[in-house]
Structure 1
């Protein structure tokens, strides 16, 4: 009984029905957390007719030992760095990120993935993956502040 009651409540939380019974809207999740170091000082850009956006890059590292999982794991340590483009649209967070995020800072970014297309200066269509930041947690000490 408890199990079926819990399942029913859960279904109500993630599914909404409109007055039109043929339309069912379900919730979904698009959440990202990245912990890494900033690769460049942020830039603020503004396209005509749109709100400004603060943009910076964030590096995350994945490390592993060659031969890991074997009985004798004495292989070399390898590392792969992945670069992420982070965009901040939220007005207060956008300004804080522009002012306080600095190259080399260690930060945690929470947000969502966004996929888009653009045409570069050579008129070639490109795809871009961006992290839209909802929250930034500063983990490095800021030695410039008094």
Structure 2
């Protein structure tokens, strides 16, 4: 692991010295963890000339109590559900997700955020936010078995 990191740094230094522009090596983080329930059974799609991808939706909930802010408050409990589009490109994980992720299952998805654009069927340019899954932890089969 250290050897591959050093090789990567060496390649970057060589690239930087071969150009007139002075670059600084810096690390950044694009990391997402979502714990929620699957909203639909996954689908596998393949665009011509590209590797297949497994896609499914994941719901996460945010809950809060309105009122004076204390935990023993008699205020109303409110909930907001957010839907996330999850794409799985890694070959082994892609196939496991397609076969074993089911609607209603509680899972933990670890990955990164990806922003992109597409043109819909009405030729309108739209923006999309996707979670690119790098790991999936299965916490339950589905809502009926909890």
Higher helix share: 2
- RMSD, matched Cα: 2.2
Number of residues of Structure 1 aligned to a counterpart in Structure 2:
129
The residue that corresponds to 1:118 in the other structure is 118
The residue that corresponds to 1:30 in the other structure is 30
Instruction: Flag structure 1 segments of 5+ consecutive residues without an equivalent.
Output: 1-12
Any runs of at least 4 consecutive aligned residues in structure 1 with deviations exceeding 6 A, and if so which?
Answer: none
Cα contact 1:30–1:113 (8 A) shared by 2: yes
1:18 counterpart = 2:13: yes
> Could you tell me how far apart the structure 1 residues matched to 2:116 and 2:25 are?
24
The residue that corresponds to 1:135 in the other structure is 135
> Taking structure 1 as reference, are residues 111 and 69 closer, same or farther at Cα in structure 2, changes over 3 Å only?
same
The residue that corresponds to 1:63 in the other structure is 63
Deviation at 1:141, TM superposition (A): 3.7
The superposition leaves residues 20-65 of structure 1 with CA deviations (integer Å, 9 ceiling, x where unpaired) of 3811121100000000000000000000000000000000000000
> Could you tell me how far apart the structure 2 residues matched to 1:42 and 1:140 are?
16
Deviation at 1:79, TM superposition (A): 0.2
The superposition leaves residues 50-109 of structure 1 with CA deviations (integer Å, 9 ceiling, x where unpaired) of 000000000000000002525972210000000000000000000000000000000000
> Could you tell me how far apart the structure 2 residues matched to 1:65 and 1:129 are?
29
> Could you tell me how far apart the structure 2 residues matched to 1:91 and 1:71 are?
45
Instruction: Flag structure 2 segments of 5+ consecutive residues without an equivalent.
Output: 1-5
Higher strand share: 1
TM-score by length of 2: 0.82
TM-score by length of 1: 0.82
